[in-house]
Structure 1
Amino acid sequence: MQVSCPRGAEDLIRSFYAGVLGWAELPKPPLLAARGGCWFLVPGVGGPDGELHVGVEADFRPARKAHPAFVVDVDAVADALESAGHPVRWADPAEIPGRRRFHTEDPVGNRLEFLAA
């Protein structure tokens, strides 16, 4: 899946996805690396690993409604985010019965959802 960021925000993005969440950065192929952005390995919980691609957009606007959803250890991820000063907003359990989940934003304002396996 892909989200976007403004040009020059790659270090900020790396500090969040690799630094706070602990996701390994993946090397981009040379022709794509020239465009900017960065890729991360999303560790699978109860399934295969995935990838998050963060691409550069000249007229960037953060995604406030549309969002990726990641299946993770929600307590560990919530703790890591809160420890780093990022907001964690738990969803109403009645919305998806039996599924704990919360939302936050990455450093450029993209909405993210984290769900328990």
Structure 2
Amino acid sequence: MLTAVDHVQLAAPPGSEDTLRAYYVDILGMTEIPKPPTLAVRGGCWFRAGAVQLHLGIESDFRPAKKAHPGLRVTGIEAYAARLVAREAAIIWDDGLPGYRRFYSEDPVGNRLEFLEPALSRQW
């Protein structure tokens, strides 16, 4: 029986770890968590915010996914969007999901990220 999503893994190009750290820690406000030594030798980095974990793994022939993405639930979506914009991260608001406020952004290597918050009254 499935009980929860443990983490989401995204891909990144070799040598991008410092750029990823700047984005996921400084812009999104996540905390970097250490990778086990047996996995750390592969490169990449892992991040956490509360129960949410994002793992960035290195792919030598990296191409960012333009459709696939994690959907990250936030509280105070307007303030969170303002945080990203103030740190020069582009966002695109989307009203296509009834009952939610949401926007999209991309990390520095082009991975698509969705940020969403339930509206006060859902329409479905």
Alignment-derived partner of residue 55 in structure 1: 57
Alignment-derived partner of residue 15 in structure 1: 22
**CA distance in structure 1 between the aligned counterparts of 2:26 and 2:39, rounded to whole angstroms:** 23
1:5 aligns with 2:12: yes
Deviating beyond 3 angstroms after TM superposition, the runs of 4 or more aligned structure 1 residues are none
Q: Compare CA radii of gyration and give the structure with the larger one.
A: 2
TM norm structure 1: 0.90
Which residues of structure 2 form unaligned runs of 5+?
A: 1-7, 119-124
**CA distance in structure 1 between the aligned counterparts of 2:54 and 2:10, rounded to whole angstroms:** 8
Q: Over aligned residue pairs, what C-alpha RMSD do you find?
A: 1.0
1:27 aligns with 2:34: yes
**CA distance in structure 2 between the aligned counterparts of 1:13 and 1:107, rounded to whole angstroms:** 7
1:1-117 maps to which residues of 2 (within 5 A)? 1-43=8-50, 49-73=51-75, 74-92=77-95, 95-117=96-118
Q: Could you say which structure has the greater relative contact order, defined with CA pairs below 8 angstroms and 6 or more residues apart?
A: 1
TM norm structure 2: 0.85
Which residues of structure 1 form unaligned runs of 5+?
A: 44-48
